[in-house]
Amino acid sequence: MLKTSEYAKPLVEKYRPVTLDDVVGNEMAVEQLKAIVDEGNMPNLIVVGPPGTGKTSSVMCLARQMLEGYVKEAVLELNASDERGIDVVRDKIKQFATQKVNTPEGTQKIIILDEADSMTESAQQALRMIMTEYSSTTRFALACNDSSKIIEPIQSRCAIIRYTKLSDEEILERLNQVIEKEEIKCDESGLQALLFTADGDMRYALNNLQATSAGFSEVTRDNVFKVCDMPHPDIMKTILDCCNRGEFDEAAENVDIIYQEGYNIMDIISTITKLIQTDEDITDEKRLNYLRESTEFKMRILEGLDSHLQLHSYLATLCSTR
């Protein structure tokens, strides 16, 4: 269990990578960033990928390693909590770009725009002008989840570096280091549950580890699922087994229990989908069909069809898949 004084500091901050060497996974991408540091010549960058994989951390490490002692004056960081409409781009970013500051020989000031995909299009248009105008003194590093929300002219001015979800092994290694340092009691079932719920997101894994160890003396599978906001996989496995046997009524009865607990339909279908990927009772052919159906239903839900009826329709489809 964590000591009381430790609660205040989130593990994700305490264990945020300090240099690029600390960033776990995505080796090719991280190597590219290290090469940029070694050459001392940074292009404008877009780092894109799923949440909690180390994009923001990597960009910060990059800026720190590029500019060493000059970070305070030579790096401007704007994240999603800052207002980032066109005015901010015109004022804050432009002002910083025009400012004269000292940087190590051959390097430029760096502007970090975190969660750049949430910038309005007009702000991005203004940004594009500044990028071109001040290219000799300023470099941009954008981090985002969805590069299609970045306007084409900015994309074409940047080197794009892609991050993917972290593997269970990569998350496990880091979790074990943290567990040892923090002296947290965590058994194998707890670790597996953390990996299952994290689904490639290191931030989620660390936050869940912290939440569980704050609430319970030991991190076990049951405790993890009590803390995290996800339908318990045991009942989801029962539902999947019913579908596998074609027993719709029983599957629907069980899913209604979960539904009445307040889980939304996307959470339920996502958890079943995760189980489908590894379930040993399903044949590979069926697995493929199940996954295809699951994806179709998820798409429908994202389009707004998230009624209880859709959930039953999903189960009925799985039941009739042969």
Ligand X SMILES: Nc1ncnc2c1ncn2[C@@H]1O[C@H](COP(=O)(O)OP(=O)(O)OP(=O)(O)O)[C@@H](O)[C@H]1O
Q: In the complex, which residues of this chain contact ligand X (CB under 6 A)?
A: 12-13, 15-17, 23-25, 51-57, 143, 145, 166, 174, 202-203, 206
Q: Which is nearer to ligand X, 81 or 283 (CB)?
A: 81
User: In the complex, what is the shortest distance from the CB of residue 114 to Mg ion, in angstroms, rounded to a whole number?
Assistant: 5
What does 15 interact with, of Mg ion, ligand X, none (CB < 5 to 8 A by kind)? ligand X
**What is residue 157's three-state secondary structure?**
coil
User: In the complex, what is the shortest distance from the CB of residue 299 to ligand X, in angstroms, rounded to a whole number?
Assistant: 22
The residues that bridge with 140 in the sheet, in sequence order, are: 111
CA distance 219 to 143: 33
The answer to whether the CB of 43 falls within 8 A of the CB of 110 is no
- Sign of the torsion formed by the C-alpha atoms of 95, 101, 103 and 108: positive
What does 312 interact with, of ligand X, Mg ion, none (CB < 5 to 8 A by kind)? none
Q: Which is nearer to Mg ion, 50 or 153 (CB)?
A: 50
Q: Which residue ranges make up the site for Mg ion (CB under 5 A)?
A: 56
Q: Which residue has the tokens 């991280």?
A: 30
CA distance 256 to 262: 10
What does 202 interact with, of Mg ion, ligand X, none (CB < 5 to 8 A by kind)? ligand X
User: In the complex, what is the shortest distance from the CB of residue 8 to ligand X, in angstroms, rounded to a whole number?
Assistant: 16
**What tokens does 255 get?**
């899913």
- Sign of the torsion formed by the C-alpha atoms of 297, 298, 303 and 307: positive
Q: Which is nearer to ligand X, 159 or 305 (CB)?
A: 159
What does 25 interact with, of ligand X, Mg ion, none (CB < 5 to 8 A by kind)? ligand X
Q: Which is nearer to Mg ion, 57 or 273 (CB)?
A: 57
CA distance 45 to 35: 13
User: In the complex, what is the shortest distance from the CB of residue 57 to ligand X, in angstroms, rounded to a whole number?
Assistant: 3
What does 232 interact with, of Mg ion, ligand X, none (CB < 5 to 8 A by kind)? none
Cα 293–chain centre separation? 25
